[in-house]
């Protein structure tokens, strides 16, 4: 029962009831990426994504970014574009997690220039 209320009133818990209605009446499933995100388009040309898991815009891979922003290029026509061996896999924003970037200088030599008043 609580999940029904979450879907009706909160947009950060996947899709709301209004989004479900829009998908039902005017949404056409265009495709799905490797992360499980689903991409929809309406008859008027409006495009949106239903995220798999946490709603985070950086979870959209490069293949679908151009489609979401209506940028015409070769990726637009082929969402399963082959990647080169030197290309890394797409990762969502890692800020605040254990995988966030820390320069070597920061990790090795952090020295305080002050004395903290709490011990």
Residue 2 pLDDT: 63
Q: Into how many domains does the chain fold?
A: 1
Question: In terms of Cα–Cα distance, which of 32, 4, 35 is closest to 20?
Answer: 4
State the pTM of this model.
0.58
Cα gap 93→55, rounded to integer Å: 12
Q: Could you tell me if residue 67 is inside a domain?
A: yes
Q: Tens digit of pLDDT for each residue in 53-109?
A: 777 888 888 778 888 888 776 544 555 667 788 888 777 888 888 888 777 655 555
Query: 100, 94 in Cβ contact below 8 A?
Result: yes
Confidence label for 111 from pLDDT (cuts 50, 70 and 90): low
CA 75 remoteness from chain centre: 18
Q: Could you tell me if residue 105 is inside a domain?
A: no
Q: Could you tell me if residue 20 is inside a domain?
A: yes
**Domain of residue 14, residue span:** 2-84
Instruction: Tell whether the model's pLDDT for residue 11 goes beyond 70.
Output: no
Q: Could you tell me if residue 8 is inside a domain?
A: yes
């Amino acid at each position: 029962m609580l999940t029904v209320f979450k879907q009706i009133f909160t947009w950060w818990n996947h899709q709301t009831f209004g989004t479900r209605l829009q998908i039902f009446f005017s949404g056409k499933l265009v495709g799905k990426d490797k992360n499980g995100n689903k991409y929809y388009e309406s008859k008027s040309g409006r495009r949106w994504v239903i995220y798999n898991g946490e709603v985070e815009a950086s979870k959209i891979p490069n293949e679908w970014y151009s489609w979401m922003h209506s940028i015409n290029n070769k990726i637009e026509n082929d969402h399963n574009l082959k990647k080169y061996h030197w290309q890394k896999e797409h990762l969502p924003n890692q800020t605040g997690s254990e995988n966030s970037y820390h320069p070597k200088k920061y990790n090795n030599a952090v020295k305080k220039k002050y004395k903290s008043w709490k011990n």
